[in-house]
Amino acid sequence: MPHAPTRHRILIVDDTPSIHGDYHLFLDTPKEDSLADAEAELFGDGANPGEARADAVAFELSSAYQGQEALDMVKAAVKEGNPYRMAFVDMRMPPGWDGIETIEQLWRVDPDLDVVICTAFSDYCWSDITKQLGRSDRYLILKKPFEGIEVRQLAMSLVEKSVLREARANQIEHLESSVAARTERLHQSQSELERANARLQAAIESTNNGFLVEDIFGEIAVVNDLLPTLLGFESASAARGRADTLLDAFAERGNFSREAAEEWLSKRATGAVIDQEVVLSLPEKRVLQVYSAPIRDLRGNVIGRVWSTCDRTEHRQLEESLLQSQKMDAVGQLAGGIAHDFNNLLAGILGNLALLKMELGDSVGDEARESLAHAIQAGGRATDLVKQILGFSRRSRMNLMPCDANSVLAEVRDILSATIDRRIQVELELEAGPRRIMADVGLLGQVIMNMAVNAKDAMPGGGKLRLCSGNRVLTASDLLAHPEILPGDFVCLSVADEGEGIPVEVQAKMFEPFFTTKEPGKGTGLGLATSFGIVKQLGGWIDFRSVPGEGTRFDIYLPRSTVTESGADSTVRPGPGSEAKLTPSTRGETILLVDDEAAVRRIGRTLLSKLGYEVLEATDGIEALELLRTQGERIRLVVLDITMPKITGKETFLRLREMRPELPVLICSGYLVDLSEFTRECGSCPDGFVQKPYSFEDMADTVRNTLDSHSHAA
């Protein structure tokens, strides 16, 4: 079934109504008449006129009798989105606009409107018309009177032209849209490619590895700045041209044999993987791990090679240090075991010599007294040797005792005031009545001094250096960053300066061993690392706050010692052979002495008895706990050895605390005790520490001070 013909809108503008009827006669759908036959013959459809008429173009005619009316109709058609394909405009239409003026107005609204100018006589010559309307293919002139076939021919031609122009415009618009979309996709692809390239370059530059990509011809395609540096080149200019420039450095400066170099070249040529450690002989030894693999396309053809070089120097040094440390630990454990047993023997020897000297007094001759003094002196040297052996595998040797934090800070202040630049003012801000701490006074002073020296170096132009102390009570929420620390009472020692501050990128590394920002020869990088280790052994930690340009503050937190209100000080005591006079106690408290060595118990029992105390003895932890259960009300203090059979000293300490939380306990050992580890494992800090072999005066003062502090607390 033939489809309905497309109807195209045509505007007739003429002031004569009969003319409109003529247009309808000429342009309406043709019937079986002579006009239709003439049209078919004219347009080549004579073979089948009926089919031609069925598919003929149909027109929708609209009439306007004046120019303004025509303008309004064109405006409405454009607004509706169904504009006129063409217009027949009469030249003379009094009153109002003539044909030329009407066309000018219509084109302002619809510039694509095709126009046929109809005129019965020449109101305008051709040159006047072109002058008014310009030379354009948008208008034609039809002379009156005209034939119907002429009108229809013009209408069909101009409509077809309009349809083709519209189709072309649509095609151009579609093409432009496609081009714009394609251009946008290309821009996006280009931007994405640039971003991907930037990310790749950033990744290559930010990696800790030297990186190089060579193409199939051996030319450098990609290289980061680190690779030439790792290979010992002074500048990155070597990273241009052929990859051989850089790769030859492995053979020239590395531990390559001729065979190894030839094997490397063979793998490179055949597309094999290379994975090899190379030691370069630069001004300093450098160990590099070199990995290289071929780059293949989708068909498996080698199109280049990638090289990745990792600096393993520090790793190898750490491995060597670890091996050395493991050797030292093994030696230290062996020596420590021997030294511990030897310490117990020395305790018996020196203790008995000291007791003998006390018993004999002045009743012996000069020669015997001199021999006894020489024996005690030799024992003292043996004790020092044992202490060195016990500290062999440790960074520091702890001589733990209750000490006053304010005294330590004041002593550091005095030393600094006498030695550092006068432009630096050292100020003390000490809290009155600070709690005492268990510490090695010398090592704690070393920690404070180290931080103070760093603060001094941070203020080359002078400034204030403040040493502060304060008491702190910390809860579990305060200690989230230190889960191994138990809540409780702490003393905070602070070192603050007004210096240049610590750069943010340095802050994460400053406690690492051997890390230093100082020039070669001016710092080992061990100061803060050692300080961190010492404070940790004391059961504390170090916090810091640093703002570049404003200064730095280090806060050292140490747990409170239960021996806090006593008059104990931190003075180093003389050894067993000293001439110290021991003052007997008149209070007669009962002390439980726990030690598995009979000789050591005998020395301790004799000393404590001479000091006026009543002594109960236990050979191990089980016996000690039984004595505490049966005679607990009598016992006022426990002196507990750490290393014992059956149950350990730590386990015994824990059980003692469970049975009598308020009972003071002094721990003693021939080993160096890690107070932080002891407190963490046992959940409580001991009340004091006595080093074997006993110093009689240390033992006497520590026992008395501990008893007095708990008596005052009660």
Give the whole-angstrom CA distance, residue 431 versus residue 428. Answer: 10
Give the whole-angstrom CA distance, residue 526 versus residue 432. Answer: 33
Q: Say whether 430 sits in a helix, a strand or coil.
A: coil
Measuring CA to CA, which residue among 626, 345, 619, 678 is closest to residue 484? 678
- Residue 549 φ/ψ region, left for φ over 0, alpha for ψ in the -120 to 50 degree band, beta for the rest: left
Q: What is the DSSP annotation of 572-638?
A: PPP-TTS-PPPPPPSS--EEEEE-S-HHHHHHHHHHHHHTT-EEEEESSHHHHHHHHHHHTTTEEEE
Instruction: Write down the pLDDT at residue 526.
Output: 45
Backbone angles phi, psi at 306, to 5 degrees: -110, 140
Instruction: Write down the pLDDT at residue 410.
Output: 87
For residues 673, 677, 681, 682, the Cα torsion angle rounded to the nearest 10 degrees is 50
Give the whole-angstrom CA distance, residue 615 versus residue 637. Answer: 10
Which is more confident, 692 or 5? 692
345-354 pLDDT, tens per residue?
A: 666 676 667 6
Instruction: Write down the pLDDT at residue 384.
Output: 56
**For the chain, what's the residue count?**
714
Token pair for residue 35?
């006009």
Residue 316 pLDDT class (50, 70, 90 cuts): confident
Question: Is 636:380 a contact under the CB 8 Å cutoff?
Answer: no
Give the whole-angstrom CA distance, residue 7 versus residue 19. Answer: 21
540-553 pLDDT, tens per residue?
A: 888 888 888 888 89
Domain 207-311 sits in which CATH superfamily? PAS domain (3.30.450.20)
Class (C level, CATH) for 7-169:
alpha beta
| Encoded amino acid at 479, one letter | L
Residue 139 pLDDT class (50, 70, 90 cuts): confident
The helix-helix angle for 675-682 and 649-659 (nearest 10°) equals: 50
User: CB 234: neighbour CB atoms within 10 A?
Assistant: 8
Give the whole-angstrom CA distance, residue 592 versus residue 221. Answer: 80
Which is more confident, 550 or 582? 550
Instruction: Write down the pLDDT at residue 13.
Output: 93
Residue 453 pLDDT class (50, 70, 90 cuts): confident
257-271 pLDDT, tens per residue?
A: 778 778 888 888 888
Q: Which residue has the tokens 């101009």?
A: 158
Residue 424 pLDDT class (50, 70, 90 cuts): confident
Residue 590 pLDDT class (50, 70, 90 cuts): very high
pLDDT at 70 over 60: yes
pLDDT at 39 over 90: no
The mean pLDDT value of the chain amounts to: 78
Instruction: Write down the pLDDT at residue 363.
Output: 67
pLDDT at 133 over 90: no
Mean pLDDT confidence for 195-199: 77
Instruction: Look at the pTM and tell me if it is higher than 0.85.
Output: no
Give the whole-angstrom CA distance, residue 118 versus residue 145. Answer: 9
Give the whole-angstrom CA distance, residue 425 versus residue 147. Answer: 117
Question: Is 44:117 a contact under the CB 8 Å cutoff?
Answer: no
Residue 165 pLDDT class (50, 70, 90 cuts): confident
Mean pLDDT confidence for 567-572: 38
Question: Is 61:23 a contact under the CB 8 Å cutoff?
Answer: yes
Q: Is 457 exposed, middle or buried (0-12, 13-18, 19+ CB in 10 A)?
A: middle
Token pair for residue 131?
């002058």
Instruction: Write down the pLDDT at residue 228.
Output: 81
Encode 288-352 in three state secondary structure: EEEEEEEEECCCCCEEEEEEEEEECHHHHHHHHHHHHHHHHHHHHHHHHHHHHHHHHHHHHHHHH
Instruction: Write down the pLDDT at residue 574.
Output: 39
Which is more confident, 84 or 600? 84
Give the whole-angstrom CA distance, residue 535 versus residue 490. Answer: 13
The helix-helix angle for 527-537 and 675-682 (nearest 10°) equals: 40
Mean pLDDT confidence for 121-150: 78
Mean pLDDT confidence for 696-702: 83
Domain 590-713 sits in which CATH superfamily? Response regulator (3.40.50.2300)
Q: Say whether 210 sits in a helix, a strand or coil.
A: strand
Q: Which residue has the tokens 């501990």?
A: 706
Instruction: Write down the pLDDT at residue 245.
Output: 73
Give the whole-angstrom CA distance, residue 572 versus residue 109. Answer: 110
**Most confidently modeled range among 189-193, 335-339, 669-673:** 189-193
Measuring CA to CA, which residue among 668, 666, 705, 659 is closest to residue 687? 666
Can you give the residue ranges of every domain in the chain? 7-169, 207-311, 320-390, 401-559, 590-713
* Bond preceding residue 228 cis, omega within 30 of 0: no
Token pair for residue 509?
């590394």
Compute CA distances 538 → 84, 198, 403, 553, 668, whole Å.
Answer: 99, 51, 12, 20, 16
DSSP E strands, 160-283: 209-215, 220-223, 274-281
Question: Is 492:431 a contact under the CB 8 Å cutoff?
Answer: no
Residue 486 pLDDT class (50, 70, 90 cuts): confident
Q: Which helix (H) or strand (E) holds 64?
A: strand 58-64
Measuring CA to CA, which residue among 509, 511, 513, 528 is closest to residue 325? 513
Question: Is 544:554 a contact under the CB 8 Å cutoff?
Answer: yes
Question: Is 220:243 a contact under the CB 8 Å cutoff?
Answer: yes
Give the whole-angstrom CA distance, residue 219 versus residue 110. Answer: 64
Instruction: Write down the pLDDT at residue 49.
Output: 47
Report the CATH number of the 401-559 domain: 3.30.565.10
pLDDT at 478 over 90: no
- Which range among 51-60, 62-71, 284-293, 489-498 shows the weakest confidence by mean pLDDT? 51-60
Which is more confident, 409 or 144? 409
- Which range among 3-17, 23-37, 153-167, 388-402 shows the weakest confidence by mean pLDDT? 388-402
Give the whole-angstrom CA distance, residue 702 versus residue 604. Answer: 13
pLDDT at 321 over 60: no
CA-derived radius of gyration, the chain: 53
**Most confidently modeled range among 14-28, 354-368, 392-406, 584-598:** 14-28
Measuring CA to CA, which residue among 373, 387, 213, 393 is closest to residue 306? 213
Q: Is 538 exposed, middle or buried (0-12, 13-18, 19+ CB in 10 A)?
A: buried
Residue 32 pLDDT class (50, 70, 90 cuts): very low
Q: Say whether 116 sits in a helix, a strand or coil.
A: strand
Residue 525 pLDDT class (50, 70, 90 cuts): very low
Mean pLDDT confidence for 337-346: 63
Residue 52 pLDDT class (50, 70, 90 cuts): very low
Residue 585 pLDDT class (50, 70, 90 cuts): low
- The fraction of the chain above a pLDDT of 70, given in percent, is 75
Backbone angles phi, psi at 542, to 5 degrees: -120, 125
Measuring CA to CA, which residue among 279, 233, 274, 272 is closest to residue 256? 279
- Which range among 214-223, 396-405, 415-424 shows the weakest confidence by mean pLDDT? 396-405
Question: Is 123:132 a contact under the CB 8 Å cutoff?
Answer: no
**Most confidently modeled range among 80-84, 94-98, 642-646, 667-671:** 80-84
pLDDT at 577 over 80: no
Give the whole-angstrom CA distance, residue 400 versus residue 673. Answer: 9
Token pair for residue 470?
């304060």
202-255 pLDDT, tens per residue?
A: 777 777 788 888 888 888 888 888 888 788 777 666 666 777 777 777 777 777
DSSP E strands, 445-501: 463-474, 488-497
Instruction: Write down the pLDDT at residue 659.
Output: 92
Residue 393 pLDDT class (50, 70, 90 cuts): very low
Mean pLDDT confidence for 475-497: 85
Mean pLDDT confidence for 567-582: 41
Give the whole-angstrom CA distance, residue 508 versus residue 504. Answer: 8
Instruction: Write down the pLDDT at residue 366.
Output: 67
Give the whole-angstrom CA distance, residue 343 versus residue 348. Answer: 9
User: CB 410: neighbour CB atoms within 10 A?
Assistant: 15
pLDDT at 637 over 90: yes
pLDDT at 123 over 80: no
> Do 207-311 and 590-713 fold alike per CATH?
no
Q: Which helix (H) or strand (E) holds 132?
A: helix 126-133
Question: Is 116:86 a contact under the CB 8 Å cutoff?
Answer: yes
Residue 713 pLDDT class (50, 70, 90 cuts): low
Instruction: Write down the pLDDT at residue 569.
Output: 42
